[in-house]
Amino acid sequence: MRIWIDIDNIPHIQYILPLARWMREQKHQLYITSTDSQQIISLLNLQNENFTSIGKSGYKGKIIKTFATFFRALKLARPLKKWRPDFSISSSRSCALASLLLKIPSFIFVDYEHVETSLYKRFGSYIISPSFITKEIFIKKGFDDKKLIHFKGLKENLTFALTDYNKYPPFIKNKNKILVLVRPPSESSHYFVHKSLDLLKSLLQYISSKENVLMIYSPREPSQAEYILNFEWQNEPIILIKPIHFISLYKSVDLVIAAGGTMIREAVALGIPAYSIFKGEKGAVDISLEEEGKLKYIKNSQDFSNILLKKRKKHIIEENKGKDILKELSNDIIYKFQNINKRKS
């Protein structure tokens, strides 16, 4: 089969690319596209992957983002029409719309049920989601049960399914300092809540005063690097400007604090203490992780004292679980596509 993979956000590389590579191992052909984000391009190059960058992403403002989605979809449809894929896999609205224009099925990852999904329903997309999110939630949103694919575990389990964990050395070693990885909220997402940004800035001030803490700061946008300039730091933070392999990064840190998203769940999958400063509506996945004690929420600055700042001893990774999920999900997508063709014929 000819499968189109679209990457329009950095986290998509982590969990969609392993699925794509597994499908390639099963003798399917791949056509990989991405936005022309320099960070995404650098990370895909770091993965030694062949791809074509088309169009931009990361725009702010609902109207501008809507137009950007439309125009990128038109740009994507041109080369893909010649390649003639059987279906697409992404977390991209542009890809879903382009797939509609190409009259092929689109399979879309959704692991946060409060994300805007009305366009996916309108485009006729199939939804791939972890079983933490019940099918009833999507059915209430108007999706047909036949267009839902559930898998057990986290999408982040896919991230580590094909990774040789021992291949990557730590990005940095420091026996004397507690290394804290901090990730700001996505200010361009439609579910952005300004309170998350306010809490981040309070957190930065809190960490800046700690003599035994060294912060590794991973801004989503270049402008977010400026937030650390407002404080006097006991230890000068490390700002991640150039892409670093995520395994090397996680091997370096003792805990992760982020405004929700993929990085938090990757930390959970690796057994790294994880704290969320996300102030938007909690998703089913994070609620489950919180109930299991694998994720802790920081509600306000008074909760900073609940952050356990200490060195950790080892990593835990469920590699076999990830590979099993990868196989099952790949088979489910192919099976669903084959049924679509049967109905057409």
Average pLDDT rounded to a whole number, residues 45-67: 82
**CA neighbor of 336 nearest in space, from 133, 156, 81, 151:** 151
- Measured between alpha carbons, how far is 142 from 159 in angstroms, rounded to an integer? 30
Asked if the domains at 2-160+321-344 and 167-306 fall in one CATH topology, the answer is yes
pLDDT, position 60: 65
Mean pLDDT lowest for which of 40-44, 131-135, 187-191, 249-253?
187-191
pLDDT, position 245: 85
**CA neighbor of 32 nearest in space, from 49, 9, 55, 57:** 49
Indicate left, alpha or beta for 54 from its phi (over 0: left) and psi (-120 to 50: alpha).
beta
The residues spanned by each domain of the chain are 2-160+321-344, 167-306
pLDDT higher than 80, residue 317: no
Instruction: Write out pLDDT tens, residues 280-291.
Output: 889 999 999 999
Average pLDDT rounded to a whole number, residues 127-131: 95
Average pLDDT rounded to a whole number, residues 185-196: 79
pLDDT, position 140: 95
pLDDT higher than 90, residue 314: no
For the chain, give the longest Cα–Cα distance: 68
**What residues are paired with 107 via a beta bridge?**
89, 126
Between 241 and 136, the higher pLDDT residue: 136
Instruction: Confirm or reject CATH 3.90.230.10 for domain 2-160+321-344, answering yes or no.
Output: no
pLDDT higher than 90, residue 74: yes
pLDDT, position 261: 80
Fold (topology level) of 167-306 = Rossmann fold (3.40.50)
- Measured between alpha carbons, how far is 312 from 42 in angstroms, rounded to an integer? 30
